[in-house]
């Protein structure tokens, strides 16, 4: 039967991120867009109450006409705050287009990087460096490989786990806006929090004026003007929140940092490759032209064209599918960082080929062959020696005597064996405190040889 024609859809309809689109992909929101309505309510509610109070003063005061400018300024500030909030939440923050396949192996050969960690994950046959170095303003900056988007992130980009996208100049994911704050909406975010701060201060001051001008004096005004009391307390609390954010982000703008960089890289203790001086930083962030989006979410695409293409094994040097390539170096690197050692170099010194030969001999001859038992114990000794060199010195039991007395041969299997459905951590190894192996990690399994 003839295959059906490829379905043609809009990009936003097949986008793999967690975003929500409205009006045919013209507006893009985060997955927690419901928080946007709460933030709008927290602004519009007090602003409306303030305008009602001012309008009441216009009707009941003899010189009520003097309150018209106050009413106008309050209404304009409220409208601006809501507008900037909506623009922040509904714009593409700078989403990096996803790649349908990982970079070709040949493209990584010329990379200058000291990284010894290698990417496997979704592409176990592909060997890519976890990071690579790029030059930014005469400074060397590391960029990381994204396993989800299958690309090396641009400088200052990061992957948002909530929106499931890599975002240019990623600042943070704002739960009050329900959207990532990045290159294309950071300006509107700062205008939103700064306008909200001004609105809070404005309502706070005018409400105090209402109380102080009361016919019964300030104390009488506090007792009788309940609405002004509520607005004063509300604005006093809110201004610490939005005012603190405004001050903090003004500091970030002057130093050309993002919230993510400030907490992660601590540029106050080392050189910031993006800092161009306070005036240039302010001009770049607040007054430069906003770049166009990298994705046209209304563009038509074929669903088949978006399928992830798995790399072929010939891209791997020597086409070697050995156990070395199946070890998750990231697990070992975390252990190495805690002990101050270079774990990848030690792992490369393991004589894994000889261990695999011993395993194949055991599978062919069975457990009854005492020579295979000796080979297994010898292999275990080799692993134990290398792990002892890593720094996991402890009071472990003599595995040779333990295995001979129990008549069993527990063994670390360095590659996944789909045929063995009884994979588990042996009791002898689970009680040892030599090395901690997460049971949920797919890249390294502990098996008992049958």
Closest CA to 416 of 322, 311, 343: 322
User: Do residues 393 and 424 make contact, with C-beta atoms less than 8 angstroms apart?
Assistant: no
Which residues lie below 8 Å from residue 111, measured CB to CB, with a gap of 6+?
A: 129, 132, 133
Residue 249's Cα: distance from chain center in Å? 20
Active-site residue 166, yes or no?
A: no
Whether the CA torsion 282, 283, 284, 287 is positive or negative: it is: positive
Q: What is the DSSP letter of 286?
A: I
Q: 142 pairs with which residues across the strands?
A: 133
Task: Specify the 3-state DSSP secondary structure of 446.
Answer: strand
CB atoms within 10 A of CB 159: 17
CA distance 31 to 374: 58
Q: Which residue has the tokens 């005061």?
A: 61
In eight-state DSSP terms, residue 40 is H
Q: Angle between the 217-224 and 186-212 helix axes, to the nearest 10 degrees?
A: 120
CB contact set of 40 (below 8 Å; sequence gap of 6+): 82, 85, 86
173 close to 30: Cβ distance less than 8 angstroms: yes
| 15: nearest Cα among 1, 33, 28 | 28
Q: What does DSSP assign to residue 105?
A: G
Read off φ and ψ for residue 437, nearest 5 degrees. -120, 115
Helices (H), 268-369: 278-282, 329-339, 343-348, 352-365
The active-site residue, picked from 149, 163, 166, 174, is 174
Query: Is the distance from CB of 189 to CB of 88 less than 8 angstroms?
Result: yes
| Distance of alpha carbon 50 from alpha carbon 431, whole angstroms | 67
- Here the tokens at position 317 are 């040097």
What is the rounded CA–CA span in Å between residue 70 and residue 66? 8
Which H or E run includes 183? Answer: none
Active site residues: 174
């Amino acid at each position: 039967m003839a295959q059906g024609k490829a379905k043609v859809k809009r990009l936003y309809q097949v986008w793999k991120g967690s975003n929500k689109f409205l009006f045919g992909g013209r507006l893009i929101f985060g997955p927690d867009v419901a928080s946007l309505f709460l933030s709008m309510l927290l602004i519009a509610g007090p602003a409306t109450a303030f305008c009602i109070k001012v309008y009441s003063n216009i009707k009941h005061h003899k010189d009520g006409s003097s309150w018209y400018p106050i009413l106008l300024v309050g209404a304009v500030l409220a409208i601006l705050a809501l507008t900037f909030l909506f623009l922040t939440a509904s714009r593409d923050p700078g989403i990096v287009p996803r790649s349908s396949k990982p970079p070709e192996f040949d493209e990584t050969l010329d990379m200058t990087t000291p990284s010894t960690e290698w990417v496997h994950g979704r592409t176990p046959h592909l060997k890519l460096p976890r990071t690579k170095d790029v030059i930014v303003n005469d400074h060397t900056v590391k960029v990381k490989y994204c396993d989800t988007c299958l690309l090396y992130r641009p400088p200052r980009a990061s992957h948002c786990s909530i929106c499931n996208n890599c975002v240019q100049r990623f600042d943070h994911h704002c739960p009050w806006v329900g959207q990532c704050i990045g290159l294309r909406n950071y300006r509107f975010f700062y205008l939103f929090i700064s306008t909200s701060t001004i609105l809070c201060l404005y309502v706070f001051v005018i409400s105090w004026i209402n109380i102080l001008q009361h016919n019964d004096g300030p104390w009488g005004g506090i007792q009788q003007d309940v609405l002004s009391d509520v607005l004063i307390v509300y604005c006093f609390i809110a201004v610490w929140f939005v005012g603190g954010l405004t001050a903090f982000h003004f500091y970030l703008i002057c130093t050309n940092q993002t919230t993510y960089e400030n907490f992660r890289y601590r540029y106050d203790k080392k050189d910031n490759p993006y800092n161009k001086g306070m005036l240039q930083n302010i001009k770049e962030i607040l007054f430069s032209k906003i770049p166009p989006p990298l994705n046209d979410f209304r563009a038509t695409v074929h669903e088949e064209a978006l399928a992830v293409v798995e790399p072929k094994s010939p891209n791997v040097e020597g086409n070697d599918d050995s156990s070395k390539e199946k070890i998750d170096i990231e697990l070992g690197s975390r252990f190495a960082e805690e002990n101050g050692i270079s774990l990848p170099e030690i792992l490369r010194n393991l004589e894994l080929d000889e261990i695999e030969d011993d395993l194949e001999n055991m599978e062919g001859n069975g457990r009854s062959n005492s020579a295979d038992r000796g080979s297994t114990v010898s292999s275990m000794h080799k692993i134990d020696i290398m792990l002892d060199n890593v720094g996991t010195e402890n009071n472990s039991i003599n595995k040779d005597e333990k295995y001979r007395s129990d008549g069993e041969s527990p063994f670390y299997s360095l590659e996944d064996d789909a045929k063995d459905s009884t994979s588990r951590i042996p009791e002898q190894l689970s009680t040892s405190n030599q090395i901690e192996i997460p049971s949920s990690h797919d890249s390294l399994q502990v098996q008992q040889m049958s």
